[in-house]
Amino acid sequence: MVRIRMQRLGRRHRPFYRIGATDAREPRSGTFIEQLGWYDPVAKDDAKKLSLKPDRIKHWLEHGAQPSDTVKDILAQQDLLPAKMRGEWEAEREVSRRRVEAKPGLKQAQEVVASLVKFDSGDVDAAPYKKRINDAHKAAMRGVSKGDVEGAKKAGEAAVAAKADLDKAIEDSKAKPEEAAGE
């Protein structure tokens, strides 16, 4: 299979990339079948950042070449992707954006799980609460992987609620012996 990908050149802290069509089995610094352009991310002038051969890129894409993720991003920005590939790219980007939006819910659940590591439940059976917290954490991870912002947020809130219920149960168990002693 032919891939369109980048080959890193340049020196340390000064990258420069060639973009070319190559056999997928070739290493990153292997030979290209055809050089299709170059990309200089450090260049200050926008006109000198990128140079592509659009006609040759379209030729390779029509003949089944698969661009790498980074090259796909560059080609989408330059409007060189075929309609089907462009739609797939936009869908991938949307899921990626939604994953970023869903991460606060996961972080909330992870903080609750981390707080359980150094936790003393006293006389209270904490197993059902810990199960609820772990289930909420798993639901938050699923929400992030699927890009479900609302699901991840609800799961994070469920983990916090389970922790609050556990804390309340512990307080209640500590208060009961004091009441019995006072009678």
Q: Is 43 within the bounds of a domain? A: yes
Q: Which of 81, 110, 130 is the last residue of a domain?
A: 81
Structural domain for 43, as ranges: 2-81
pLDDT for 172 equals 81
- The pLDDT of residue 49 is 93
State how many domains the chain has: 2
In a domain, 93, yes or no: no
Domain identity same for 71 and 6: yes
DSSP string for the chain = -EEEEEEEEEETTEEEEEEEEEETTS-TTS--SEEEEEE-TT-SSGGGTEEE-HHHHHHHHHTT-EE-HHHHHHHHHTT-S-HHHHHHHHHHHHHHHHHHHHHHHHHHHHHHHHHTTT---TTS--HHHHHHHHHHHHHHHHHHHHT-HHHHHHHHHHHHHHHHHHHHHHHHHHHHHHHHHH-
94 domain residue, yes or no: no
Determine, yes or no, domain membership for 89. Answer: no
- Residue ending a domain, among 81, 111, 136, is 81
Query: Does 90 fall in a domain?
Result: no
In a domain, 35, yes or no: yes
Does residue 26 form part of some domain?
yes
The answer as to whether 68 is a domain residue is yes
Are 140 and 105 in contact by the 8 Å Cβ rule? The answer is yes
Residue 121 and residue 148 in one domain: yes
Question: Where among 24, 46, 81 does a domain terminate?
Answer: 81
Residues 120 and 166 in one domain: yes
Q: Digits of tens for pLDDT over the chain (183 positions)?
A: 999 999 999 999 999 999 999 999 988 888 999 999 999 999 999 889 999 999 999 999 999 999 999 999 999 999 999 989 999 989 988 988 888 998 898 898 888 888 877 766 677 787 888 888 889 999 999 988 888 889 989 999 999 998 888 888 888 877 776 655 555
Residue 16, pLDDT score: 94
pLDDT confidence of residue 138 = 92
Are residues 24 and 75 located together in one domain of the fold?
Answer: yes
Whether residue 177 sits in one domain with residue 104: yes
CATH number at 54 reads 3.30.1320.10
